[in-house]
Structure 1
Amino acid sequence: MGCSVCALTTPALLSLCLKHSFTKCFQSAYEIDRGFAEVQSYLTYVLLGISIVSLILTLVFLLPAKALRSTRSAKINICFTTALLLASLMFLIQDAFISADDTGVIKLKSTGCAVYAMIQHYLWLVVFAWMVVEGFLMYLSLVQVFGSHISKCMLKFNLAAWGIPLPIPFIGYFVFTKRHTVGSFTFTEHGYLADTMCFIRPESTSFYTLFLAPIVLVILVNLFYYLTLSFCLIK
């Protein structure tokens, strides 16, 4: 979307439209080189494709091995791999349904686009949650060796990893999507959905609080586990 001025008769709506237009002009002060964007896109497809194949192979080798599959660490790895595989597939195939020029099967900022974005958001949060679970398991296994047994651990881990992230995409969409009415005109301000894809709007409050913050939290928690483990090994 470029810089534009809305020719509307309602002064308040005209003022608001001008504000959004000039804001978008300011945010788009530089243009990414087309060749660089194409190379980046190809690299994304190639590397993500390799990752998906590797994840599938991981499941192919783990699932038939009954003895290995029965261990707690293997079960957690299977859950983590499954979540990462689903999230990667959703990201990879979105170009088949969604187009930046809004000619795809799923229209930008539509209900279908919102659902697709929320599913992607949820799956990546689940991936982050399983990362914390893996770090916690490593802490239990190597630091707190005695008393590390947790009854029905996989049930509790699954409820935490799949359940805790569930309300976050709904909160993000309904809190940051606002409808405005000025006179006889009604329009929607999308603070959650991006303009050219069905995902969280980059560089927005929703992106920082509901996507980037969980990543930072996961890094800090696992860093704590790592430092605790290192301290115990040195001691």
Structure 2
Amino acid sequence: SGGWNSDGCVVQTTTENETTCSCNHLTSFAILLILTFITYIGCGVSAIFLAFTLLTYLLFKLRKDIPSKILIHLCFALLLLNLVFLVDAWLALYTDAVGLCISTAWFLHYFLLASFTWMGLEGVHMYMALVKVFNSHIAHYMLKVPMVVVIIVIAVDINNYGLVSYGKYTDGTTDEL
């Protein structure tokens, strides 16, 4: 049924801000910690190989044709997405900086949309190169769609990025400041 199991747990220390417990069993928090650890390792390894791919394409001047340009943009968007995601946990320590939280959310949203857009353009270009028999060209199909989406989200409501309330506690209070 889930929840915290206090059997086998002993309080080690208690202060005004923190309580440390020692338990002889694992809970879902341990699984979340392991998954977080694996996520950061995966993002770090991904960022290293994305940087390696970018350096290879840029140093050997493999950026002349459209497929190479799309791949470079995709790798760059994924690299920046990974880097913002990796520093996000560190930036979350600064809880007083609401602007920092909003800008981090904006960058995460933008680079995620940019990655999806470049992946979509990669698929369109593969379709045009491999499946389409007739030699046709669609002009200006490498547009900056992610920026348009983020601007629309901000225009609808400026508070879409930033701190949110996740609900009420059992005693009727909320997590709002």
Q: Which has the higher helix share?
A: 1
Structure 2 residue identity aligned to 1:81: C
Counterpart in 1 of 2:113?
125
Counterpart in 2 of 1:105?
94
Counterpart in 2 of 1:89?
83
Unaligned runs of 5+ in 2: 5-26, 167-177
Counterpart in 2 of 1:160?
144
Structure 2 residue identity aligned to 1:138: M
Residues 114 and 145, structure 2, Cα contact 8 Å, conserved in 1: yes
Q: 1:33, CA displacement in angstroms?
A: 1.9
- How many pairs align? 143
Equivalent position SS for 2:136: coil
Q: Deviations over 1:88-144 (max 9, x none)?
A: 10001112221xxxxx22537x23211211121111011111111111101111122
Unaligned runs of 5+ in 1: 1-28, 99-103, 178-190, 202-235
Task: Say if 2:39 is the partner of 1:51.
Answer: no
Q: Deviations over 1:138-174 (max 9, x none)?
A: 11111224333345x4xx40x3345433314414652
- Coordinate RMSD, CA, aligned: 2.7
Cα distance in 2 for residues equivalent to 1:69 and 1:172:
38
Q: Deviations over 1:57-102 (max 9, x none)?
A: 1101111122x3211101100001101110110001112221xxxx
Cα distance in 1 for residues equivalent to 2:129 and 2:120:
14
Cα distance in 2 for residues equivalent to 1:168 and 1:120:
16
Residues 91 and 101, structure 2, Cα contact 8 Å, conserved in 1: no
Counterpart in 2 of 1:72?
66
Task: Point out which structure has higher relative CO (alpha carbons under 8 A, 6+ apart).
Answer: 1
Residues 77 and 111, structure 2, Cα contact 8 Å, conserved in 1: yes
Residues 79 and 130, structure 1, Cα contact 8 Å, conserved in 2: yes
Cα distance in 2 for residues equivalent to 1:163 and 1:147:
31
Counterpart in 2 of 1:228?
none
Task: Say if 2:62 is the partner of 1:62.
Answer: no
Cα distance in 1 for residues equivalent to 2:37 and 2:156:
30
Residues 51 and 79, structure 2, Cα contact 8 Å, conserved in 1: yes
Structure 2 residue identity aligned to 1:73: P
TM-score by length of 2: 0.69
Cα distance in 2 for residues equivalent to 1:130 and 1:54:
18
Counterpart in 1 of 2:10?
none
Cα distance in 2 for residues equivalent to 1:169 and 1:125:
12
The equivalences for 1:32-47 within 5 A come to 33-47=28-42
